[in-house]
Structures are given as structure tokens and as C-alpha cells.
Structure 1
Amino acid sequence: MRLKPFLLPLCLLLLPGLSGAAEKTVYGLNEYAQLHNLGLRVPAKLDTGAKTASLSARNIDRFKRNNEPWVRFYLAIDEAHSHPIERPLARISKIKRRAGDYDPEEEKTYTARPVIELDICMGQALRTIEVNLTDRSAFQYPLLIGSEALKRFSALVDPSLKYAAGQPGCTPDATPGE
């Protein structure tokens, strides 16, 4: 009986956390993502254990345009993507290598990857996220969405679900939200 007076303050303390959860969108372990800038829909893996997002790309070439750094690449998704894509280079990311990827002769524990910004639509949400470019053709999902991008989507990931958000529903003239 002594616990009852403590229940009301405890519930009041929990309310701010519950209201934050109400503003989140539940996504599954896998979702369809529209690469809004490119007019392409791809399956994505949502990975809360990865910090960054990665897009499958090949023949990645950095160059200068008007004295600004740019990157040219081909999507490494299937043979249908034979035209190059060019985007401004946002930055270079240092991705920690896994034990199996480490080459002692190279003496580097990281891989440098170019990073670009892309507008991605999942469900009804359109967000601009940073993605690093790397060849993911050996993986099932050409797009991996890590925790930094998931924050931008206000995402809660339920690993028991797949494609919970359904098909991307952003209109062609939509602008990315926060």
C-alpha cells in the first residue's frame, strides 16, 4: 500500500519519454527506399549498429568541377544502371575495417569512402541523408541505412517487421523535411 503515493510521480516522469516515442515512425528491418534524386526504388536494410548509410556503387571517381570536389559513380545494383551519376562530394568518411578486411601490409585500420547527400523517401517521409559509396553487390541490400540517417527519419526499428512503411509515397515535387 505504500507504493501507491509513488505511482503518480513515477507516471509523470515517464510521460515525456512516451510523447517522444509517439512522434517516431516504426520501420521494419528492411524497407523500400526511393532514391528521390535518381528516380529509383531499392530495398534497404536498416541497421542501428552501423553509424553511416552506404549505397552500392562501382567505378567511383573523384574529380573537380568549378574547383569544387565531385564524385562520379555507377550504381552497383544490377546491369540496368549503365549511366554515370555525378554528385558533389560532401566529405570523405573513414570506415573502420572488420578483422577479416584488415591487411597488415597496408597498415590502415580504416577504409576511406566518398560521401554524398541524397534525398531518400521511406514510407511518407523524405529526408536528405549522407551516404558513403562502396561496392555492396555481394550483399542482399544495395542500401544500408545506419543510425545517423535513422535519426533524421525519427525511426524506431522493429526487427520482427519487414517493409512496415510500405511503398515509398513521396510526391515528385516533395521537399525533404527535418
Structure 2
Amino acid sequence: MRLKPYALLSCLPLVTGQSLAAEKTIYGLNEYAQLTDIDVEIAAKLDTGAKTASLSARDIERFKRDGETWVRFYLGVDDAHEHPIERPLARISKIKRRAGDYDPEEEKTYTARPVIEMEICMGRTLRSIEVNLTDRSAFQYPLLIGSEALKRFGALVDPSLKYAAGKPGCTSDANSAE
């Protein structure tokens, strides 16, 4: 039997997709994440529907240091962090408000949040990602990892799994670039 050229071409996306999938890491809906900058391990929710990553923070304030804008905050995790954390401000993110969070009198459909860079380890993968700071104390997971960060981790998310990557185990020579 002789295959027609178009039949072979139609199989090409399957082969390409499989090779790309082989280079990715499968994570569960929830994973342990090590915030290596501050040596704290927390539970994270992986959310492909969110664009950005969000970290639970309290008492967030901006200040100037050597002419640059910085952010000082306390990690909002069960009073686990008593000392303030200070990081340079990367940018301000505009997060869309949900229907229940929108005040028509205020006329703003977004919330402005400070964004910082953090080194995060999930499984054996270490990446520097942007996280916006907000009070997530009403949520079960203090860290939400959105699609932009998931791309940096080369993540495939299987929502039927939890903690598929195991405890964070990044070494100092782990690949944090990309």
C-alpha cells in the first residue's frame, strides 16, 4: 500500500506535539513551591486560566531606595513570616476585577498590584518568575501560579493530580534561566 503525501503531512502535527510534550514536566493542580529567596515552602495552586502569579502578602507598601521604587511586605501565610521582605518593584499589574468585586461608582474595572521577581522551585525546576502581591488570606493556597509562569516552568498541568512533582528539590546549580 502506498501512502499519499498529504496523509504523511497530516501526521506531522502529532509527531511534533508528542516531542514537545516529552520536554515538558507534568504538574498537578496543586504543588509545593519553595520561595528560595526567603527559604519558605508553601502550597501553590496552578491555574491555567490566570495569566499572572499571585502571592499572599500583607502590609504592602512602596518606598524609594537609591532612586528606585521598592516594595516592603510581610508574607501572608499563617503568621509564618514575622520579618518584612523587601524587593525591587518590577512593575504594576492591572488585574481585572470579578463581577462581585466591581464597584460602579469607582469606575475602575481593575485592581493595581505591585509585581516583584522571585525565584521559585517546583519539583526539581527553579525559575525566576513575576508575582503580584495581594492579600490571599481568604484562599486556601497562598500562591497562585498563572499561565505566564507555567510557560517558564515548561509545565503540563493535569488537574486530576496533586503534588505530582513532590517536595521542591532544587540545587544551587539548578537551571533558573529561560
Check whether TM > 0.5: yes
Matched, 1:112 2:112: yes
Secondary structure class of the residue paired with 1:17? helix
Question: What is the deviation of 1:133?
Answer: 0.1
Secondary structure class of the residue paired with 1:72? strand
What TM-score do you get using the length of structure 2 for normalisation? Answer: 0.94
Matched, 1:166 2:166: yes
Amino acid at match of 2:99: A
The answer for the alignment partner of 2:67 in structure 1 is 67
Cα RMSD after superposing both structures: 1.6
The answer for the alignment partner of 1:123 in structure 2 is 123
Residues 125 and 177 in structure 1, CA contact (< 8 A), matched pair in contact too:
no
Note the alpha carbon deviations across 1:70-103, whole angstroms, 9 max, x for none. Answer: 0000011112311100000000000000010011
Residues 69 and 89 in structure 1, CA contact (< 8 A), matched pair in contact too:
yes
Amino acid at match of 1:142: P
Amino acid at match of 2:10: L
Q: Percent identity?
A: 77
Residues 64 and 70 in structure 2, CA contact (< 8 A), matched pair in contact too:
yes
Aligned in 2, Cα 1:74/1:13: closer, same or farther, shift over 3 Å? closer
For residues 148 and 82 of structure 1, the distance between their equivalents in structure 2, rounded to whole angstroms, comes to 30
What TM-score do you get using the length of structure 1 for normalisation? Answer: 0.94
Question: What is the deviation of 1:172?
Answer: 4.3
User: Unmatched 5+ residue regions in structure 2?
Assistant: none
Secondary structure class of the residue paired with 1:133? strand
Residues 30 and 163 in structure 2, CA contact (< 8 A), matched pair in contact too:
yes
For residues 113 and 94 of structure 2, the distance between their equivalents in structure 1, rounded to whole angstroms, comes to 6
User: Unmatched 5+ residue regions in structure 1?
Assistant: none
Secondary structure class of the residue paired with 2:87? strand
Residues 125 and 175 in structure 2, CA contact (< 8 A), matched pair in contact too:
no
1:2-151 mapped onto 2 (5 Å cutoff): 5=4, 7-151=7-151
Question: What is the deviation of 1:9?
Answer: 3.4
Amino acid at match of 2:110: Y
Note the alpha carbon deviations across 1:115-138, whole angstroms, 9 max, x for none. Answer: 000000000000000000000011
Aligned residues: 177
